[in-house]
Structure 1
Amino acid sequence: MNYTQSNGLPEYITLSEYLFHRLKQLNIETIFGLPGAFNTALIDKLYTVLNLRWAGNTNELNAAYATDGYSRLKGLGCLVTTFGVGELSAVNGIAGSYAEHVGILHVVGMPPTSAQTKQLLLHHTLGNGDYNVYSRMASEITANTRLISDTELCAEHVDQSICTAWIQQKPVYLGIPINLNDTPVESKKLNYALNIQAPTNNPVVENEVIEQILNKIYKAKNPVIISDACVTRHRLIKQTQEFCERTKFPVFATPMSKGSIDESLMSFGGVFMGSISSPDVREVVDFADVLIVIGCLLSDFNTSSFHFAYKTKDNVLIYPTCVKLKNSTYPDLYIESLMKALLFALDESRITYTATHPQRMIVPRSELPNRHSLRQEWIWNQISHWFREGDIIITETGTSSFGINQTKFPHGSSGISQPLWGSVGYSLGACLGASFALQELKLNQLNPFPSRVILFVGDGAFQLTVQELSTIIRWGLTPYIFILNNQGYSVDRFLHHRSNASYYDIQSWDYLRLLPTFGATSYETKKVVTVGDFLQMIHDPGFSKDDKIRLLEIMLPPMDVPQALMDKWLTEQETKKRTGSESDISTPSSQISIKRIKPENLMLADNDI
């Protein structure tokens, strides 16, 4: 057998091996998915690549969630499913990654080309001989769909699929017929690195846009920077941080970009959530004369539920692939190249703004009697003081997606949530993926912090994807899982104001028995009912050590919600009164005035737990 001198591999390797070697070159070391009739031959080749592992999920939907969580830390994730039944089970997760700009390579093991050509009625088909129906479905929620058929160009098609997913930070569909898994590929192709750099911009257009942006920066008297979702998705945290430090402009994050800005910066003012932002945040953002939004993903989120509009008309909106200024839109401008050029051209000496830092985001330490029952508002304030540098903090669609925005993240911390797509149950799978990713980053000495993975999930959402707890235990991963037990779907219960609606209730589980039920041997569980219970837990030095999986059941009243959710409800009531309609999503946040109310006015009494 002939070996190449450069990579130690045989002169020819199989297409499947080539795929996994390419992923390993990008430090993608865990592959998610489930085996099936048409993908096992593909998965077999995974074990020929050193230090590559198969996660082995409990179902395809959870696997898609896990791939998403993994990708948010590693830049790309790979999901392998079987044709038809497997890939369709993953569709919801893939759609969420598409909406939220998360790079995923979705590899589908397909029936042999002969069966497709003859339109045989194989299992997992719709019985009509149409083998492209599922890829057509996928084309609506992926950046690209590719079905391998050309044996001469199959390696190039693999490379193109991986690069597209990485650069665009969107899912890509790659179908590989089972009879093509062993297609021979020259291994020397692996000696050439993948080109995963974003395309360069037209220099004339780019320079024109930068000149306009700089003019606004230099003249601004009350400027504001907003860091939005695509700062993290397109790996622009360092560039955005540098821009904030050099301009000294006040900076805020959106809920989708929580953790994208170092919250210890003097210029960091908190989280901007449109009409439900704190008064201090809105006062600065709404009255800015120049607003620079980096990594735009402007939406009227279904879960954060705010009217996302900026009062100032002199906006600089930097999207992943375009820039919008006051009266102009410049397409085909890639954010990575643009930010690099902007930083190079920026001359701080020409900035006329006099730095006046926004009111610092301060998280109070609330003093309550130890016997006092727990409340969401109190918990989110207290947990901030337990977070430490580098923590990966994951929140679920529900009360935690609102509460987390009032916390302050330490240096180097990251946030993972899904506020735009808002698929309930997402977070436990994402926790699995993030735990794998963090483990790899630590092993490869790419993470300088003593990081932990911390999940906050409601009991209703937890019940949707609980099976993945088994996979977490199987691999000895050690996340903290805080189950916020409010006896069902409290967000819907509260917003609908139907506390007695039985369809928001769920079956009560004995959550603390789940870890041993799924086979855990080294674990810690606690039921936390009072303020004293909670303080004793977070002040225990042993509890902060990331040495075992922990499941903490936090008992809360069914109608108890964070302040931001109360504000959201009040905003909706104000809109209804003004318009006389059920909703008006077009109303700008600057036109809505809300009065903050005391939490106890919308909560149950202590003895109602």
Structure 2
Amino acid sequence: MGTEARKLQGEVERLQQELQTLKAQYHSEDEELITISDYILKRLEQLNVTSIFGVPGDFNMPFLDFIEDHPTIQWIGNCNELNAAYAADGYARVKEHSIGVVVTTFGVGELSATNAIAGAFSEMVPVLHIVGVPSTTQLKNKPMLHHTLGDGRFNVYTKVAEQITAAQAMIMNKAQAAAEIDRILMEAIIQARPVYLTLPMDLTTEKISAKRLKVKLPRTPSPNNPDVESYVIDEIMELVEDAKRDVIILVDACAVRHDVRGEVNDLLVKTQFPVYATPMGKTSVSEEYERYGGIYIGSITHPSIKERVENANLILSIGALKSDFNTGMFTYHIPARHTIELHSDHTLVRHAKFPGIGMKWLLPKLTERLSKFQEGASRIPVPHYKLDVPKESDDKISHAYLWPRVGKFFRKQDVIVAETGTSNFGVLDVPMPDQCIFVSQILYGSIGWATASTLGAAIAARDRHLGRTILFTGDGSMQLTVQEISTMTHNKLAPIIFVLNNKGYNIERHLHGLDRKYNDIADWKWASLLTTLGDIEGKLTQSYTVRSKSELDKLLDDEEFASARKIQLVEVIMDKYDTPRALQASAALTAQAAAGQL
């Protein structure tokens, strides 16, 4: 869908919301008033937000008073704004059907958060960025305030936000406050992207009508054009018939981001078509499901999976996001003539594009039509991918051993966070138990994201009564955002943190500069870190260092460790140059691309 079409659709949705609100107002007898701050929080409460991340600053503190006094929403104070926005990102990924929220102050605070907001935009994660700004009088008169550039350009930060958020609202008076707040929240929900809201200090306590709150914000996109949708379904059915039921389903990130996980599972059950996932779609489908075959990453894929996917007569791709690392450096060998792609705002049937035909409404109707193929499709064998723990001659912890071994440690409903790079590539091949949630930042790839994101993920997991939160990160990445462990301790969270100590940036070494000093880092005493970062008396946390397979096995088999009752950090000593299979293959492809050989 083009930019103008999206704007038009957004305006239609806004007018529909206005009409519903007017109806609510018409039937109301008493005028209930509410502060703008409480209006925002009430809307967030309706969206099932229970935690807000951020750092206090003079321009946002009047709003923070309202957050701190709120009965159901908790303020999570972070060590810096970048970490806070990373945490909001992780929260939104695990707290499905909700959004992440980060609050910063004007200028210095919001710019610090910008990298994380850009990552949320790139990976389609709904995050509300609220910025406390100077008073409306100051915004109009533009005095030389602190946190400004000193040249009277008070809108420069908003211009930055316009590049990395789906919608922006700069509240300057109370008359339009409620409508503007609702507008950007709807954009965050429907587009699954971050949005930006400025709240002047003098408007935090201004009172507005609460009537709009009686109408909940819509969570689904506008319906498809029924005639075009019917035509598209007919076209798909014809291709499925021609494929003689040799159809596979490939599930990608946007199936989760755009809230069609339930529709996809219904499709799988009713059709029995074999299903595979991409790296960004990992755990969007239960990896214990009998018709699930594994992860497809182009040329990097395990040979048996690669052959099955690429030789299928027809591929039904759901929510594809074809980035370099997600496609094995663009090595998908799937011709368009054998592919149907369902997206949030359009559908591709081979070479034909149908704008405005989104998968949220299309999938249920398509499922009903495709269900007649269930009997034939169920007879197509789907070998269940396994990753056995290898028997190696030495006791050193290798990547070939580590990842299948920790795979045996995973349990149902665990939330597993992997840092960009070594950890992410290592864990991709590991089959995960039913109802696990895998969280990673494969597209944007900002190192340091995972540690701070784990804070938000762990809070969301606690809200949802999920299992353990387990982080895998490298020593280099951990050094960027390690401070947020203190916030985890302060909020009584209990993640298990595996730090792979290979004395530097392993992924960078294998992409370029294997022996360059710029890929080395200063070593830390990791086992002493937790007492520094919050656990002053050493009673709330536990640290370990494992240097061998036998030490690793003993720890993973320990029930007290596995119960995750406190924060636990495990330093895993590894060879400086050892690396996972998938990362080796990706690095080789990257080198070929750089040399113009791909």
Q: TM-score if structure 1 supplies the norm length?
A: 0.89
Pairwise CA distance, 1:368: 3.9
Shift of 1:563: 0.9
2:419 is the alignment partner of 1:406:
no
Q: State how far apart, in whole Å, the 1-side matches of 2:572 and 2:259 are.
A: 34
Structure 1 counterpart of 2:133: 110
| Structure 2 residue 536 is matched with structure 1 residue 513 | no
Match of 1:379 in 2: 402
Tell whether 2:498 aligns with 1:477: no
Q: Which residue of 2 aligns with 1:566?
A: 584
Q: How does 1:480-499 map to 2 (within 5 A)?
A: 480-496=496-512, 498-499=513-514
Structure 1: which 5+ runs fail to align?
Answer: 588-609
Say which of 2, 8, 11 aligns to 2:32.
11
State the AA in 2 paired with 1:493: R
**Where does residue 182 of structure 2 map in the other structure?**
159
Deviations, residues 181-209 of structure 1 (Å, cap 9, x unaligned)? 11202234322222222221111111111
Q: Is it true that 1:524 corresponds to 2:563 in the alignment?
A: no
Q: Which residue of 2 aligns with 1:199?
A: 222
Q: Partner amino acid for 1:529? A: R
Contact 2:271–2:373, Cα closer than 8 Å, also in 1: no
Asked whether the equivalents of residues 271 and 374 of structure 2 are also in contact (C-alpha less than 8 Å), the reply is no
Which residue identity lines up with residue 396 of structure 1 in the other structure? E
Counterparts of 1:295 and 1:108, CA distance in 2: 32
Q: Contact between 2:272 and 2:374, CA under 8 Å: does it hold in 1?
A: no
User: What's 2:5 paired with?
Assistant: none
Of residues 176, 192, 214 in structure 2, which corresponds to 1:169?
192
Give the match for residue 322 of structure 1. 346
Unmatched segments (≥5 aa) in structure 2: 1-24
Query: Contact 1:219–1:351 (CA<8 Å) still a contact in 2?
Result: no
Identity %: 36
Q: TM-score w.r.t. structure 2 length?
A: 0.91
Q: Does 1:464 align with 2:480?
A: yes
The 3-state SS of whatever aligns with 2:431 is coil
Could you tell me how far 1:559 is from its partner in structure 2?
0.7
Q: Equivalent residue for 2:390? A: 366
CA distance in 2, matches of 1:410, 1:438: 16
Per-residue displacement from partner, 1:478-507 (whole Å, max 9, x unpaired)?
A: 0010001110001111232x4321111101
Distance 1:489 1:306, change over 3 A: farther
Q: Which amino acid aligns with 2:516?
A: A
2:447 to 424, 432, 435: 424
The offset of 1:413, in angstroms, is 0.5
Amino acid in the other structure paired with 1:268: Y
Q: Structure 1 residue 213: deviation in Å? A: 1.7
SS in 2 for 1:373: coil
Deviation at 1:556, TM superposition (A): 0.5
Matched to 2:180, the amino acid is H
CA contact (8 A) 2:288 2:434 kept: yes
Length, aligned pairs only: 566
Cα contact 2:544–2:571 (8 A) shared by 1: yes
Deviation, structure 1 residue 476: 0.7
**Aligned match of 1:89:** 112
Q: Contact 2:451/2:478 (CA < 8 Å) preserved in 1?
A: yes
**In the alignment, does 2:285 pair up with 1:269?**
no
Secondary structure of the equivalent of 1:347? helix
CA distance in 1, matches of 2:532, 2:408: 32
1:217 pairs with 2:240: yes
CA contact (8 A) 1:229 1:295 kept: yes
Q: Distance in 2 between matches of 1:306 and 1:400?
A: 21
Query: What is the CA distance between 1:372 and its match in structure 2?
Result: 0.7
- Find the residue that maps to 1:341 and give its secondary structure: helix
> How far does residue 572 in structure 1 lie from its aligned partner after superposition?
4.6
Which 10-residue stretch deviates more, 333-342 or 559-568?
Answer: 333-342
The one-letter code of the counterpart of 1:501 is R
Measure the CA separation in 1 of the matches of 2:222 and 2:265.
Answer: 22
Taking the aligned partners of 2:277 and 2:480, their CA distance within structure 1 comes to 30
Contact 1:377 1:562 in 2 (8 A): yes
Picking from 537, 541, 553, the partner of 2:555 is 537
- The SS at the match of 1:140 is helix
Q: Which segment drifts farther, 389-398 or 310-319?
A: 310-319
Give 1:249's aligned residue.
273
CA 555–583 in structure 1, closer or farther in 2 if over 3 Å, else same: farther
SS at match of 1:245: helix
